[in-house]
Structure 1
Amino acid sequence: MAGGAELGRSSSLTLVSALLRVPFLNEVSSRTTVVQLVGEVLGEPFSVAEHAHPFQHIWNIVEACRRHPEGFDALSHVLGQVEGNSLPMHEVDRIIGDMRTTGLWPDTEYQRLLALLSGVSVPDLPDIYQHVTGAAGHRLPPGSTVAEHLNAANVLNADSNGLPKLLSLIEHLAPTVRADLSAELHAWADAQAGRLGLVAELQSMRARCARRPEVRAESRSTAYLVVLIHPDNPSGQRCRLAHWRQLDLSEGWKPMRGSDVVGDLDEIKHAVAGLIEQVETEWSHLDPDVRIEFVLPNELINLDVDQWPWETTSSIPQPIGTRFPVSVRALERMREDKYHRHWRLRWKRLNSWLQDAGTLPEEANHWAGGQNPDALGGVLMRDMSLLSMVLGEPPEPGSSGLDDVVVGVRDGIPLMLWHRKDCASEEFRDLVKGVLHGEGEPVLERVRLARADARAERKPGHAGNALTVLWDDPDRVVTPTLVRPPKG
């Protein structure tokens, strides 16, 4: 099997017929938009020959998806975003699911696999499943059975080497079960790989799993929950929340996207708390260092997200920022590749300083305020050793503080700090100096401790209660494919 290329070709016509009933694909411009968005999801150019006739154009799209291991997953994701939960989309998803599994192995063989694992307990199964399936894997609820994880993996496209995700999952599961069952699982996988002509690929996967018998976060490794919030209508009264999470970064940044939530700000806060409760529960036995990041557009960049409660219900609410390292990130920079080169240059230098010395020299920070945007841009671009910036004014819409954020984002500053109400206070400036130039704990932990100090000292005006840090890592970008300003 070679991913999409091996999906049953006889089903192409059925899929094209179903796609013709999807309203969004009626116009050639909309079909072209879908092709562009599929390329964004795949992270690489996705070339499809246009055609004025809908049937031929959609046929070309299906054939292009067939040639890419993750093509049909990307197409399904994009159409789900633009078309929503419509009846035509239900049929499209059903057909794609059927195409993924047709001809891989006889149903009797699959039932035998399910019987082998019936009643088996694998404590780390959710983490193993996430590791194997990556962003393509559908999140399963806590307590899902082994069979439910196998079924979910069985409908996914193959890895880039052609190995079906289900075989990869079996190879990762085998070292975690008792020896006799492990041997039977290997025998089952050997038989399937032999029929599919993937013996070498399976053996390579088995060797990697033998070297790494457990797929789990090492003690105090860093795990991430990334939350993207943006207005969902012109009034800004309703927002959309998208989120990604990743526990184990040892094989690169491959965050798993969850379901979106749309609601007013109170509903978004409640949804964020629910996500945090979920990762605290699911990752509790692994003891990772969990970081919470909020990707925000300019108009929301000054939200007090670190002060939101991390529990959905509590008689004594506790702010997220006192329990976790919490930072914000710039949505505008994340979706504009033209800003990434300088961003990466400064991030690399920032990391070098923090890894070597554990702190930033004072000359690497710029205190903004009192400059017009053009002058600030000149200051930043004549000195690439400037790696952080402290705002002179909160970045509210229409303010000079927001202008400073826009310039800093454009010119690659990866670390910015500000007070959400009063950037001129001496207490705030002293706090920032300690965060940037102090010693001991990492920068984000110093920020967390400052927020905890503010709660411990019970001073409403404590600068730690209103401290925002923008900490933006270009190596951990999420793909906000369809995030654009709402149309008025």
Structure 2
Amino acid sequence: MSTSLDADDLHRLIEAILRVDAMSVQRERAVHVQALEHDLGHSLDYVHHDKEMLDVWALVDALLNYPGAAHALVRILRTFYPNSLPVRALGELVAELVPEPWLDQAERRVLHELITSLERTDLDPAYLGRFLMLYPRAVGPAWPQLDREVHSLHDVVAVLEEIPAGRDGVPPLLVFVNDLAEYAGQPTTTAFRHWVRRQVEVQGLNGALVQRDRTPELAPAPLEPSENYLIIECAPDALEADRYLVTAWLQVGREPGSTLQCSDEALPLSRIPELLERLLTSESSVIGRPSPDLTIEFLLPRALLDQPVEQSMINIAGIEHRIGIQYPVVVRSLDRMRMAALHHPWRHKWDWLSGNSVDAPVCLLTQPGECDREELYSKLSGASTAVLALAFPPWSGVDDEPDEHWVGLVAGIPVVAWCRDGRDPAQFAREVKGLLAADVMKLPRRTLELRRQALSGVSEGTGSGHLGLHLTLLFDNADRIPEPYVRLRPPA
């Protein structure tokens, strides 16, 4: 989020800077930019160019990305060249085009110096992914996710300073720094708190809003380790039936998901492992996730629900292995996600299951056509039925044929387990009974262990028929719906 200027105004600003003799040559310009960075308390992140016009263009873009930077540059140039008419003209143009920031220049520098200290002394290399999660807590649901690439907390602070006052009239920047103080650790924690208190006094805010001991509503609860979810959506392409538009999100707990991949290029299923491998090894937010736990969820259309996605092979540091033995892997229904009319029974059953997950009743079907579709729908619609187990795969014929799996989804069942290759009914009943016993909420991790056991059997030449090699687990959390499918709700 940067100050918005049209092309004409950008050109005016660039030309005004180039008219200042000391800013028209890159070598001299670098000296003043260095002075500016010292004044701001952090570096300006932009790509330098050999051509003067392009280099100044990049500088202007950086100035607009950091509140107060353009005004600080004018102040520095006035100090060096107090009688310069081009400097005076530049100052007038900046005053016209760039709003005066609400945060005092000296206090902004103190904040950025504190963040620099935090980066150097208090945080491990994965800090950025962890502390970025404080951004949505500060801005609330009304504001979008970060809309520009960020390389440090300095960038996050610059974005937040441009957002007007949020809940209770408190600027989101103060909420963010207040939260940051809770988790940063000494010695910067105390300094961050003092900084927030000064801003409360200067801005005329109610001091109680940011006093941790008196305001549990603003000071967040300690960050507890949260489950991380890597969500891979495969949406059918309208032009090519065997290709899919792939979107990937990283979600921490119930925080809004951050988009990692959203390509207009439709991919074949064979390319999905390649994408997974890249996200797991090169995506900074995945590598720097707040806790090591990670569940991979495939959001799939009905035609793909029976794909053995957990058997996808990836290569990590030269070791090729199936993702299903390293991470809990589950599938979710894209069709149900897209059909808002199906969300009410789904949410209702998930809420019930969340409070009754230990030894929850299981509806077991061992053969296709075991009961009439309407009879099955009626049976599965019961309030206390939220888990379905089937010894057979979904119907592989016409997509709209309502098989048992689809009836379960329409009825709102959030947890469905089935065997992809068909199974002897008695054998499946024995195997799935042990798997679904105890706490259903821990089923993804128990399934991970089952898949590991199956692979051990394969290596010994005894486990090719192990259920762990043929089991699909649909584990559809109705509390965590990706943003494109969230229904708008009235304000609380």
What TM bracket, shorter-length normalisation?
0.5 to 0.7
Q: Secondary structure at the match of 1:258?
A: strand
Q: Secondary structure at the match of 2:416?
A: strand
Cα shift at 1:472: 1.4
Flag the 1:147–1:351 CA change in 2: closer, same or farther, 3 A: closer
Query: Paired residue for 1:478?
Result: 482
Cα shift at 1:479: 2.2
**Which among 127, 131, 156 is matched to residue 128 of structure 1?**
131
Flag the 1:449–1:108 CA change in 2: closer, same or farther, 3 A: same
Mapped contact 1:299–1:397 kept (Cα < 8 A):
no
AA of the residue aligned to 1:133:
P
Flag the 1:139–1:434 CA change in 2: closer, same or farther, 3 A: farther
AA of the residue aligned to 2:270:
D
The answer to whether structure 1 residue 379 and structure 2 residue 379 are counterparts is yes
Q: Secondary structure at the match of 1:343?
A: helix
The answer to whether structure 1 residue 332 and structure 2 residue 335 are counterparts is yes
Flag the 1:343–1:441 CA change in 2: closer, same or farther, 3 A: closer
After superposition, the C-alpha distances for 1:18-65 in whole angstroms (9 at most, x for unaligned) are 9xxxxxxxxxxxxxxxxxxxxxxxxxxxxxxxxxxxxxxxxxxxxxxx
Mapped contact 1:346–1:413 kept (Cα < 8 A):
yes
Q: Secondary structure at the match of 2:332?
A: strand
The answer to whether structure 1 residue 150 and structure 2 residue 157 are counterparts is yes
**Which among 273, 279, 293 is matched to residue 269 of structure 1?**
273
Query: Paired residue for 1:414?
Result: 414
Query: Paired residue for 1:86?
Result: none
Flag the 1:191–1:298 CA change in 2: closer, same or farther, 3 A: same
AA of the residue aligned to 1:345:
H
Question: Which has more radius of gyration?
Answer: 2
User: Following the alignment from structure 1 to structure 2, what is the Cα–Cα distance between the partners of residues 460 and 101?
Assistant: 68
User: Following the alignment from structure 2 to structure 1, what is the Cα–Cα distance between the partners of residues 378 and 207?
Assistant: 56
Cα shift at 1:194: 4.1
Mapped contact 2:366–2:392 kept (Cα < 8 A):
no
Deviates more, 1:298-307 or 1:399-408: 399-408
Structure 1 length as normaliser, TM-score?
0.65
Cα shift at 1:469: 0.9
Query: Paired residue for 2:288?
Result: 282
Mapped contact 1:419–1:463 kept (Cα < 8 A):
yes
Cα shift at 1:457: 0.3
1:41-80 mapped onto 2 (5 Å cutoff): none
Structure 2 length as normaliser, TM-score?
0.64
**Which among 245, 254, 257 is matched to residue 256 of structure 2?**
254
Mapped contact 1:270–1:312 kept (Cα < 8 A):
no
Mapped contact 1:225–1:245 kept (Cα < 8 A):
yes
Flag the 1:205–1:392 CA change in 2: closer, same or farther, 3 A: same
Mapped contact 1:175–1:210 kept (Cα < 8 A):
no
Q: Secondary structure at the match of 1:418?
A: strand
| Structure 2 alignment gaps of length 5 or more | 10-62, 68-96, 487-492
Q: Secondary structure at the match of 1:174?
A: helix
Deviates more, 1:99-108 or 1:386-395: 99-108
The answer to whether structure 1 residue 165 and structure 2 residue 164 are counterparts is no
Q: Secondary structure at the match of 1:409?
A: helix
Higher relative contact order (CA 8 A, sep 6+): 1
User: Following the alignment from structure 2 to structure 1, what is the Cα–Cα distance between the partners of residues 391 and 400?
Assistant: 8
After superposition, the C-alpha distances for 1:349-382 in whole angstroms (9 at most, x for unaligned) are 333332xxx32345x545562145334323334x
Flag the 1:465–1:115 CA change in 2: closer, same or farther, 3 A: same
AA of the residue aligned to 1:242:
T
1:174-185 mapped onto 2 (5 Å cutoff): 174-176=181-183, 181-185=188-192
Mapped contact 1:418–1:467 kept (Cα < 8 A):
yes
1:47-446 mapped onto 2 (5 Å cutoff): 103-107=101-105, 109-121=107-119, 122-123=122-123, 124-134=127-137, 136-138=144-146, 144-156=151-163, 158-176=165-183, 181-200=188-207, 202-203=209-210, 215-218=222-225, 221-247=226-252, 249=253, 252-261=254-263, 262=265, 263-277=267-281, 278=283, 281-283=287-289, 287-309=291-313, 311-313=314-316, 315-354=318-357, 358-362=358-362, 364-367=363-366, 369-370=368-369, 371-381=371-381, 383-391=382-390, 393-395=392-394, 396=396, 398=398, 403-423=403-423, 427-437=427-437, 442-446=442-446
User: Following the alignment from structure 1 to structure 2, what is the Cα–Cα distance between the partners of residues 179 and 438?
Assistant: 42
After superposition, the C-alpha distances for 1:58-100 in whole angstroms (9 at most, x for unaligned) are xxxxxxxxxxxxxxxxxxxxxxxxxxxxxxxxxxxx9999899
**Once superposed, what is the RMSD of the aligned Cα atoms?**
4.2
Q: Secondary structure at the match of 2:278?
A: helix
Cα shift at 1:178: 6.8
1:450-469 mapped onto 2 (5 Å cutoff): 450-458=450-458, 459-469=463-473
Mapped contact 2:249–2:261 kept (Cα < 8 A):
no
User: Following the alignment from structure 2 to structure 1, what is the Cα–Cα distance between the partners of residues 456 and 429?
Assistant: 20
Flag the 1:373–1:384 CA change in 2: closer, same or farther, 3 A: same
Query: Paired residue for 1:73?
Result: none
Cα shift at 1:416: 0.9
Query: Paired residue for 2:31?
Result: none
Cα shift at 1:207: 5.4
Cα shift at 1:151: 3.0
Mapped contact 1:239–1:268 kept (Cα < 8 A):
no
User: Following the alignment from structure 2 to structure 1, what is the Cα–Cα distance between the partners of residues 65 and 148?
Assistant: 20
Mapped contact 2:302–2:399 kept (Cα < 8 A):
no
Flag the 1:378–1:187 CA change in 2: closer, same or farther, 3 A: closer
Flag the 1:97–1:369 CA change in 2: closer, same or farther, 3 A: farther
Cα shift at 1:166: 2.2
